[in-house]
Amino acid sequence: MRIHYAIMSNDALESAYQAAHISWGYDALAWLLFAPVGGVERLRRQALEHLGVTPATRVLELGCGSGGVTRRLVGLGASVTAVDWSEPMLEKAARRAPAARFERSELTAYTPSPPATFDLVLFCFVLHELDHEARAAALGVAARALSPGGRVAIVDHALPRRGLVARALSRFVHGFEPPSSRAWLRDGEAEQVLRDAGFEPGPRLLLASGLAFALEARRSETRA
Ligand SMILES: C[S@@+](CC[C@H](N)C(=O)[O-])C[C@H]1O[C@@H](n2cnc3c(N)ncnc32)[C@H](O)[C@@H]1O
Q: Whose CA is nearest to atom 10 of ligand 1?
A: 126
Q: E-assigned strands of the chain?
A: 58-62, 79-84, 101-104, 118-124, 146-157, 199-201, 205-207, 212-219
Q: Is residue 2 part of a domain?
A: no
Q: What is the pLDDT of residues 190-202, one digit of tens each?
A: 999 999 999 999 9
Based on the structure, what is the number of domains in the chain?
Answer: 1
CATH assignment at residue 122? 3.40.50.150
pTM: 0.91
Say if residues 117 and 150 touch (Cβ distance below 8 Å). Answer: no
State pLDDT tens for residues 46-92: 999 999 999 999 999 999 999 999 999 999 999 999 999 999 999 99
Q: Would residue 224 count as lying in a domain?
A: no
Q: Please state the atom number of ligand 1 nearest to the C-alpha of residue 155.
A: 8
Please check whether residue 1 lies inside any domain of the structure. Answer: no
Domain extent at residue 56: 10-219
Task: Choose one of 60, 129, 207 to mutate for the ligand 1 pocket test, by most ligand atoms within 8 angstroms of C-beta.
Answer: 129
Q: Is 124 in the pocket of ligand 1 (CB under 6 A)?
A: yes
